[in-house]
Structure 1
Amino acid sequence: MRSKVRLTAAAVLLAGFGSAAAAQTQGAGGRTIYEADYFRTFSPSNALQIVQRVPGFTLDTGDNSVRGFGQAAGNVVINGQRPSSKADTLDVILSRIPASRVARVEIGPGDLFGSEYSGKAQVLNLVLTAQGGLAGAFTGTLRRDFLGRLYPEGSVSALLRRGASTFNLAVGVNNNATVEEGYDTLKALPGLALVEYRRKVNYTSDPNGFVSGSWEYNGGANKTAHLNARTALDLFSLTQTNIVIPTGGITRNDHLTERYHRHEYELGADVTRPFLGGGLKLIGLATRRHRLFKDLSLNRVNSAIVDGFGQTLDDERDETLARLVWTRPKLLGWDVEVGAEGVVNRLRSDVDLFEIAPGGTGKIPISLPIDHAIVTEHRAEAFVNASRAVTSKLRIDLGLTYEAWRLTVAGDAKAERTLRFLKPKAVFDWRPGHGWHAQLSVQRTVAQLQFEDFISSAELTTSRVNGGNANLVPQRAWEVLATLEHPVLGDGLLKLEGGYQRIQLVQDRVPTPEGFDAPGNLGDGSVYIAKARLDAPLKRFGIKGGRFSAYVSYIGSSVGDPYTHRQRQFSGYSDLVVDISFRQDLGKFAWGVEAQGNTPVTFYRLDELDRNSSAWPYVTAFAEYRPDKRTSFNFSLDNATGIPAFRNRLFFEPSRSNPVPSLLEHRYRTRHIIPALTFKRSFG
């Protein structure tokens, strides 16, 4: 739940509303338009950097873990159409488009761009030029950890336009590596007597590479086609050294390793043709993923193996889908969209947990409740969406989706069920004038189930078992969200949001008959939402090229706890998130400071409260030099203040139904300051 924030003391005097700057105009359907010239002061090299500079807009990259196509949408379309890829998130796709190929940016309510975006207060349409020829960009980064080790990474992308066809190819290698050090203390309660002290160093390596390509054909309105393919390989490695000093006991030298290999493949395509006065679009997508995870934890005394545990997870996940959508503008005064989607998802998972015999002489298998299983889902949905302008200031969007699932679990557990849901929605978009924009949405939503929640597994880093639950069902909710926004100080924006969700069968953690806890369903719950975002230029305050933004979010949640029978937060929620930012662009030079802070995140387990937090604020800073419009050198500091992260685990015996805790584990980790140097060069 980490959010990045930018901080400056100069912008606490923000006040006053103003009309939009000349570079910002109003278009049809309530669209706010920013021409390419508006972004030249930032010297962007790719489309992602342009999107990041749109006032008041927050990029939602989409969730590629969501099954199906419709629900995985982010909040950006390109030339009015959603990319037909799921594996590549929006930030990755945008980073491959050279800034020189962007004609303008349009911001409008989600219903202007299809049913996937209905209910979103803002969706960004990136409009590209018709310029032909070759263009591209290269990015290279060199990062340094606190031990002085260097980690290079880079990517190159090229875009070629020939007539009605556009080809895009990208190759990249990321090198997400770090060294983290810290300690753990385990203390007995209530007296806080030290039981155990652990000194830990984590060496993490996460190199991953990808190759992706796409082809687009644009023959005019409703005469388009896309083809995209991607392959990626991720090799995650963690090596932990751990000196364990029990009070009154023998010192151990424990050792933990994690070796995670992941392969992904994706092939997607869509074609749009004229049909009955509108456009008929067929989308096809197939993804394949294979994971092989190996964990090994060994406890040593004087180099001799005393005991330990290991686990191997080998799973394959497949998704195949087809989506057919017909859109027709101005049908009896309504813009109409009708469609259907069919999806087949399958997870084949094998988990083998074992104990290491003393001396490392053998492996003793440990059986888990559900460690070998095949989960299969057949899902279909049909939807209709209709929107129209009631007046010149009011637009409404109405939608209805019928969704049906057939879910089967085979292997160590047997389960089969069919679920059906009707999901209505209504969105009212109002522009009363003088720059004001308000939106109200009411809809019913149904969460997706994570197939991995059906499978049991162990966490060797925390010495606990996560049970699987083949009978988990999705939570469903009624959601109300109101949004109000207005320009400030020229091309700045103030945005306020408030909402409420009433949730049935909240998905959280529940006890299992085998004595573990597992993902399951609690009773009804509530979520309260309050957000405020401010993005403003500082020219009126005498700060040339300066820009300030701030974001505050409060999300309160409440559900009955199955152990204490009292109301509590949902697991994994942070009540308060604060983001503040400042940057200044001065021709060839730019600099900025980022900071972030959020309240602790707590997970409510069978016999523990697991709370994660960090000191405030988490700061990053950068300075950038641009010798010409195609080249930039960026020096950045991640965790510039060197703050640590904390984790407190409060244990109860035999479960949290006993209100008196027995142990407290405190974890302290720091990565120190991470400097990085990035070079970017665009061409064409």
Structure 2
Amino acid sequence: MRVALAAHAAVALVAAPASAQTADASGRIVYEATFFQRFQPANALEIVRRVPGFTLEQVEVDVRGFGQAAGNVVINGQRPSSKSDTIDVVLARIPASRVARVEVGPGTLFGAEYSGKAQVVNLILTGEGGLAGTATGTLRRQYDGKLFPEGSVSTLLRRGDSTFNASIGVNNNQTSEEGYDTLRALPSGELLEYRRKINSIADPNAFVSGSWDYKASQFETARFNARYAFDRFRLSQTNDVLPVGGIARDDRLNQRFNFDEWEVGGDIQRPLLGGGVKLIGLATRRDRQDRERALLRVRGNVIDGDEQQVRSQRDEAVLRALWTRPDLNGWSVETGIEGALNRLRSKVDLFSLAEDGTRTRIDLPVDDATVTEYRAEAFASASRSLSPKLRMDLALNYEMSRLTVEGDAEAKRSLRFLKPKVNLDWRPGNGWRAQASIARTVAQLRFEDFISAAELTNERVNGGNAELVPQRSWEALATIEKQVLGDGLVKVELGYTQTSLVQDRVPTPEGFDAPGNLGDGSSKIARATFDVPVSRLGIKGGRISGRLSYVGTSVRDPYTGRQRPFSGASPFVYEVNWRQDMGDFAWGVGFSGDDPSTYYRRNELDTFYPGNPYITAFAEYRPTRSTTVTLSVDNLGDFPARRSRLFFDPDRRTPSPFRVEDRVRSQHILPYLTIKHNFG
């Protein structure tokens, strides 16, 4: 009987129409699992990436607190109570066979932390019991012919109202890149130095994680999760230096970075006053030990050098309580409070090395300090449909924090911010949708920006700044989208942001360059995305997608007094992908690139030129419904990346640079073979 039922389900899966439909007046669009069968996905991550017009938002794991670390994906209407496991990692652990459907709707349908997000994906899992999982193995080849294997295994077991998930993975990231540097005098362009460089990079990392989920009803849920991960980054650089008219050197650079992370968390939810009250707890610890050494050598003998050691410990504890009610006099409401303690203890030791090996410590302005933040945030959101086609979302957050710096620098400050959000969502019909939102946002500070440290590979020092404060902005965004050619989607976004106390780079009294605050700045935003099937144009199984983004930033430079972009901003970004699915076989190619980005430092302009276009390609074969074999190639165009550093003396108030350094690096063409197998 069980075999017959399974066979009947498989027939129904094939026969069901692969279409999307609007599920309710809130604007939620539903994609049944059959819609994704043409792509033969191995896990939930591959399903989410195939949702038309949707871009998975990557959130930095260093973001403090729980609410601000929300991405744009939830599972069964709930956000996983984990931060170290990013959402793409969580999704990759869920077998595709356990996904019943995908819902796409405005952010406020899924909680206060998602308010203002134009699209949030809700992944609905099946209630099917038993064991299922995914095993993945990859073999990478670098340009010198070396092969490197890696793999992961994840399992999911459902028993009654409980779901158990366990995962282990090893990434054997190893790369070699070659290139050269030139150092020239300006304005003559005379060559001063030529350097031939080869970087051997090994970045092995591994993780093990597990979770238990319990769901008896909508408001009777519980979860516990734990994770351990480590990373062991190793770089060895050979550097043949040929000064014009000088003595040739064979310099060396070695970097050894060790990173360990532990996280435990969980939540529990119970019914209360027609809704549900949830308590979330999370504790994380990250230990880091870095050591790097740069040596100047002549015929193998050290003539000069530097060494740096960094030891840091980062701790976070978060407690969040919230109450949710989906229908309160026509409103969907959520309110709560979050408290967090974050602490960074960091000590940096920088030494100069003499020929005889003697080490002399170099004192930096803030190289031994503890940064502590106590933060509380109250929040509330409410949304309702004003008509069958119009929805309004409101949110209000109030943040309070106490920040202290102790050690080489002493600083204390209390900060308070009111952060309102308003969003209107209009669906006039015929596949059209329009959104308009305005919100006040406050950026987070990187605790590492308070600490001084050297960059040995760049021969410069980053000063720490204990007086740094977060920038704050008013953001306005308008979005128009249209469904085309069945399940295709075209979307255009226009926005404007006004920012005060822009976080950028400023001079320090000690003569260093450090993170700091400038004056008022602005950003102009124009983005277009498309995801279009071309079957109706005669190409069966074909689909083209892409995005074009322009973000123009402007702030007054503290040296020149003129307007310039924010440091690190890349105005234009583009991506175009083609994919064709033909039964058991699929293939695709992608092109991506972006504009150069410049960091405006005290005495230099540091500009990065990515190797454009970055071309990827793949060919995929599915010998069975459970197994996929994929041959992929990265950097198919073999375009190198370039970096240019213009130097000014004594700083950028001098209008003309006196020297330029150009760096060229290439990893060449990178092929790899991946085998994925689903079981259960």
Place the TM-score, normalised by the shorter chain, in its bin.
Answer: over 0.9
Structure 1 residue 330: Cα displacement: 2.0
Alignment partners' CA distance in 1, 2:53 and 2:418 = 33
Q: Deviations over 1:184-203 (max 9, x none)?
A: 00000000000100000000
Q: How does 1:233-252 map to 2 (within 5 A)?
A: 233-252=230-249
The equivalent position to 1:328 in structure 2, one of 322, 325, 328, is 325
- Is 1:635 aligned to 2:631, yes or no? yes
Which residue in 2 is equivalent to 1:211?
208
Alignment partners' CA distance in 1, 2:52 and 2:396 = 32
Alignment partners' CA distance in 2, 1:226 and 1:396 = 31
The equivalent position to 1:226 in structure 2, one of 223, 240, 252, is 223
Alignment partners' CA distance in 2, 1:177 and 1:380 = 42
Q: Deviations over 1:358-399 (max 9, x none)?
A: 23x210000000000000000000011111111111111111
Alignment partners' CA distance in 2, 1:640 and 1:579 = 15
Letter in 2 for 1:435: G
Alignment partners' CA distance in 2, 1:139 and 1:296 = 37
State the TM-score, normalized to the length of structure 2. Answer: 0.97
Structure 1 residue 542: Cα displacement: 1.1
Alignment partners' CA distance in 2, 1:107 and 1:340 = 27
Whether contact under 8 Å (1:62, 1:74) holds in the other structure is yes
Which residue in 1 is equivalent to 2:75?
78
Letter in 2 for 1:243: D
Q: How does 1:302-321 map to 2 (within 5 A)?
A: 302-321=299-318
Alignment partners' CA distance in 1, 2:422 and 2:445 = 25
- Is 1:353 aligned to 2:350, yes or no? yes
Letter in 1 for 2:645: R
Q: Deviations over 1:629-675 (max 9, x none)?
A: 10011001110111100000000000001011000000000000011
Whether contact under 8 Å (1:63, 1:74) holds in the other structure is no
The equivalent position to 1:117 in structure 2, one of 114, 117, 123, is 114
Structure 1 residue 22: Cα displacement: 5.7
Q: How does 1:641-652 map to 2 (within 5 A)?
A: 641-652=637-648
- Is 1:256 aligned to 2:253, yes or no? yes
Q: Deviations over 1:453-473 (max 9, x none)?
A: 000000001000000000000
Alignment partners' CA distance in 2, 1:352 and 1:552 = 44
Which residue in 1 is equivalent to 2:105?
108
Structure 1 residue 336: Cα displacement: 1.1
SS of structure 1 residue aligned to 2:36: helix
SS of structure 1 residue aligned to 2:38: helix
Structure 1 residue 175: Cα displacement: 1.3
Q: Which consecutive segments of 4 or more residues in structure 1 shift more than 4 A?
A: none
Q: How does 1:511-522 map to 2 (within 5 A)?
A: 511-522=507-518
The equivalent position to 1:160 in structure 2, one of 157, 160, 164, is 157
- Is 1:429 aligned to 2:425, yes or no? yes
Which residue in 1 is equivalent to 2:448?
452
Q: How does 1:251-650 map to 2 (within 5 A)?
A: 251-359=248-356, 361-650=357-646
Structure 1 residue 614: Cα displacement: 2.4
Alignment partners' CA distance in 2, 1:282 and 1:488 = 42
Alignment partners' CA distance in 1, 2:368 and 2:210 = 36
SS of structure 2 residue aligned to 1:469: coil
Alignment partners' CA distance in 1, 2:145 and 2:430 = 55
The equivalent position to 2:186 in structure 1, one of 167, 175, 189, is 189
Alignment partners' CA distance in 1, 2:239 and 2:571 = 33
Whether contact under 8 Å (1:378, 1:407) holds in the other structure is yes
Letter in 2 for 1:281: K
Which residue in 1 is equivalent to 2:666?
670
State the TM-score, normalized to the length of structure 1. Answer: 0.96
Q: 5+ unaligned residues in a row in structure 1: which ranges?
A: 1-20
Alignment partners' CA distance in 2, 1:347 and 1:107 = 38
Structure 1 residue 173: Cα displacement: 0.3
Structure 1 residue 332: Cα displacement: 2.5
Whether contact under 8 Å (1:200, 1:241) holds in the other structure is yes
Whether contact under 8 Å (1:372, 1:411) holds in the other structure is yes
Whether contact under 8 Å (1:558, 1:568) holds in the other structure is yes
Structure 1 residue 100: Cα displacement: 0.3
Alignment partners' CA distance in 1, 2:459 and 2:137 = 39
Structure 1 residue 434: Cα displacement: 1.0
Alignment partners' CA distance in 2, 1:567 and 1:518 = 20
Give the superposed CA RMSD. Answer: 0.7
Q: Deviations over 1:209-233 (max 9, x none)?
A: 0000000000011000010000001
SS of structure 2 residue aligned to 1:661: coil
Greater alpha carbon shift after TM alignment, 219-228 vs 54-63? 54-63
Which residue in 2 is equivalent to 1:170?
167
SS of structure 2 residue aligned to 1:319: strand
Alignment partners' CA distance in 1, 2:541 and 2:83 = 36
Letter in 2 for 1:596: S
Which residue in 1 is equivalent to 2:8?
none
SS of structure 2 residue aligned to 1:71: helix
Alignment partners' CA distance in 2, 1:657 and 1:61 = 38
Whether contact under 8 Å (1:63, 1:73) holds in the other structure is no
Whether contact under 8 Å (1:623, 1:635) holds in the other structure is yes
Which residue in 2 is equivalent to 1:4?
none
- Is 1:150 aligned to 2:147, yes or no? yes
Bigger RCO of structures 1 and 2 (CA < 8 A, at least 6 apart): 1
Alignment partners' CA distance in 1, 2:254 and 2:441 = 40
The equivalent position to 1:55 in structure 2, one of 30, 52, 57, is 52
Structure 1 residue 252: Cα displacement: 0.4
Alignment partners' CA distance in 1, 2:274 and 2:588 = 50
Alignment partners' CA distance in 1, 2:546 and 2:224 = 39
Structure 1 residue 92: Cα displacement: 0.6
Whether contact under 8 Å (1:62, 1:75) holds in the other structure is no
Alignment partners' CA distance in 1, 2:614 and 2:278 = 45
Letter in 1 for 2:509: P
Whether contact under 8 Å (2:18, 2:32) holds in the other structure is no
Letter in 1 for 2:204: P
- Is 1:682 aligned to 2:678, yes or no? yes
Tell me the number of residue pairs that the alignment of Structure 1 and Structure 2 aligns. Answer: 663
Structure 1 residue 276: Cα displacement: 1.0
Alignment partners' CA distance in 2, 1:637 and 1:229 = 34
Which residue in 2 is equivalent to 1:31?
28
Structure 1 residue 616: Cα displacement: 2.1
Structure 1 residue 63: Cα displacement: 2.3
Whether contact under 8 Å (2:18, 2:34) holds in the other structure is no
Alignment partners' CA distance in 2, 1:629 and 1:307 = 61
Q: Deviations over 1:103-140 (max 9, x none)?
A: 00000010100011110100000000000000001000
Which residue in 1 is equivalent to 2:13?
none
Whether contact under 8 Å (1:329, 1:335) holds in the other structure is yes
Whether contact under 8 Å (1:571, 1:602) holds in the other structure is yes
SS of structure 2 residue aligned to 1:206: strand
Alignment partners' CA distance in 1, 2:318 and 2:135 = 34
Letter in 2 for 1:350: K
Alignment partners' CA distance in 1, 2:410 and 2:167 = 44
> % of aligned pairs identical?
62
Letter in 1 for 2:49: Q
Alignment partners' CA distance in 1, 2:238 and 2:79 = 46
Letter in 2 for 1:158: T
Letter in 2 for 1:423: K
